[in-house]
Amino acid sequence: MQIWEVKLTQPAAMGGDAYTSNPEEQIVVDRIYTAIMEQRIAPKTKLSEAKLCEVFGVGRMRVRRALLLLASQGIVDLESNRGAFIACPSPKEANDVFTSRMLIEPQLVHGLCIAAQSPDLSHLEEHIKLEHAAHADSDRSHIIRLSGEFHVKLASISGNSVLIRIIRELVTRTSLIVGLFGDSGHSSCPDGEHASILAAIKKGEPSEAERLVFEHLQHIHSGLDLSRSKPQRPDLAKVFGMA
């Protein structure tokens, strides 16, 4: 089932949505995106329009557009006359996200074994080195974000912008879920599994890579305790470094 047509070696920027071109509000979206990816912002956190305006120094219009965009991706909840809140995924939502990822990503990597070329692979190797460095520094924010980005970069190799967007959204929601239900002790992606996935791709073993990705996601999923949830309300100005 080799179904790859076009390729794209370039980084394929973390944030950009490609569709909504306005660069101003994309900044707001990206900042919130990465804040969630790094788990510096907890579910249920209220995203007050006024505060976001002064933190990012943009008009209320832009903030509202950004919030709507995030809401359409299930990353924030928009409650009428109450405001925007970082989404607090239900156990069912958590399962749905993981199920979707387990459905898509193994197949994706299967195809990658055929399509991936050396520049792509060395790029991934580079990324894994960054992950190890972050582990060495015990830099929690970086560890978590890089873990997620690995999956996005995997998708980026396909050059399929549709898939890339889907994966990015799922990865971000996963960050929320892991932050909510995960054991704050161990990191979201078990270290070493990314490396073995990459190794399987390198060796050109589609079935093996597919299986490793599936199990990798299963490991993360099984590390969750879906009965628990921990509410918090950090200060927005601190989270975003009062830009």
What is the pattern of x (binds DNA, CB under 7 A) and - over residues 70-109? --------xxxxxxx-------------------------
Q: According to CB under 8 A, which one of 71, 121, 128, 199 is a site residue for its own copies?
A: 71
Whole-number minimum distance, CB 112 to its own copies, in Å?
Answer: 11
By CB under 8 A, the count of residues binding its own copies is 43
Phi and psi at residue 86, to the nearest 5°: -60, 130
Interface with DNA (CB under 7 A), residue from 48, 95, 141, 196: 48
Closest CA to 51 of 23, 16, 83: 83
Q: Which is nearer to DNA, 86 or 134 (by Cβ)? A: 86
* Residues facing residue 89 across a β-bridge: none
Contacts of residue 164, Cβ cutoff 8 Å, sequence gap at least 6? 12, 152, 155, 156, 158
Residue from the set 107, 141, 196, 229 that interacts with its own copies by CB under 8 A: 107
Tell me how far, at minimum, the Cβ of 29 lies from its own copies, in Å.
10
Q: Which is nearer to DNA, 60 or 129 (CB)?
A: 60
Q: Rounded CA gap, 236 and 37, in Å? A: 15
CB 44 within 8 A of CB 229: no
